[in-house]
């Protein structure tokens, strides 16, 4: 009888401890840009360039292409958060953001990720080289390194290249702030790209 008690008591203790442990929920983050403000600003503006532009799916460095969010605390070492993920893979997320932006900003006559019966006048390619949390002691920053290339299909040559390697310090170690910072940086660079496009096309002979 005593042996049975000695066996059951540790077993019940183990089951109690296992049952009392908190389950850690995985959090998912989205990247967004202020489309509403863009729409309001351009609500009554007609197309600046009556041309078609195809948005190619964004190419993301394989180290950052999964739903796992990367953290760089050493120069050549990446770790990935176990319970903090992107809700959508970065390539899909950034591609949708670009499409949404140019659908609401009247730069081109039409934009799409695929034209079936019309050959687009321009093709916009985007590469994401880095999208990561950078940790230096107790300071956390959002790092986004990207490049846009607008190609004229008639000549198959780039007419605009826009590169940005940006860091934005976070107020706290909060991945929601990180996702927000990534969206803000991306939006600012889209705005600069659009200014370059308008300037180059208008000045072209």
Q: What is the pLDDT of residues 28-87, one digit of tens each?
A: 999 999 877 776 666 555 566 778 999 999 999 999 999 999 999 888 899 999 999 999
Tens-place pLDDT, residues 96-130: 999 999 988 888 988 998 887 888 999 999 999 99
Q: Is residue 80 classed exposed, middle or buried when 0-12, 13-18 and 19+ CB atoms within 10 A define those classes?
A: middle
The answer to whether the CB of 79 falls within 8 A of the CB of 148 is no
Tens-place pLDDT, residues 130-157: 999 999 888 999 999 999 999 999 998 9
Cβ neighbours around 101 below 10 Å, total: 21
pLDDT tier for residue 199 given thresholds of 50, 70 and 90: confident
Q: Provide the pLDDT for residue 17.
A: 57
Mean pLDDT of the chain, nearest integer: 86
Taking 3-state DSSP, the helix, strand and coil percentages for the chain, each rounded to the nearest 5, stand at 35, 35, 25
Q: What are phi and psi of 38, to 5 degrees?
A: -65, -45
pLDDT tier for residue 7 given thresholds of 50, 70 and 90: very low
Q: Provide the pLDDT for residue 203.
A: 60
If you classify domain 26-203 with CATH, what class do you get? alpha beta
Task: Report yes or no on whether pTM surpasses 0.95.
Answer: no
């Amino acid at each position: 009888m005593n042996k049975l008690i000695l066996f059951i008591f540790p077993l019940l203790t183990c089951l109690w401890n296992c049952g009392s442990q908190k389950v850690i929920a995985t959090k998912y983050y989205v990247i967004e840009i202020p489309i509403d403000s863009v729409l309001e600003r351009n609500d009554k503006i007609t197309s600046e360039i009556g041309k078609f532009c195809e948005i190619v799916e964004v190419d993301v460095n394989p180290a950052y292409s999964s739903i796992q969010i990367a953290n760089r605390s050493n120069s050549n070492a990446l770790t990935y958060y176990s319970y903090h993920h992107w809700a959508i893979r970065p390539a899909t997320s950034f591609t949708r953001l670009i499409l949404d932006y140019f659908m609401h900003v009247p730069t081109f006559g039409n934009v799409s990720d695929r034209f079936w019966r019309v050959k687009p006048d321009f093709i916009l390619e985007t590469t994401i080289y880095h999208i990561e949390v950078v940790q230096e002691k107790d300071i956390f920053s959002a790092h986004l390194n990207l490049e846009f290339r607008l190609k004229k299909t008639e000549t198959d040559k780039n007419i605009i290249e826009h590169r940005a390697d940006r860091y934005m310090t976070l107020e706290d170690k909060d991945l929601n702030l990180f996702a927000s910072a990534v969206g803000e940086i991306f939006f600012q660079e889209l705005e600069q790209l659009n200014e370059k496009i308008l300037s180059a096309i208008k000045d072209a002979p």
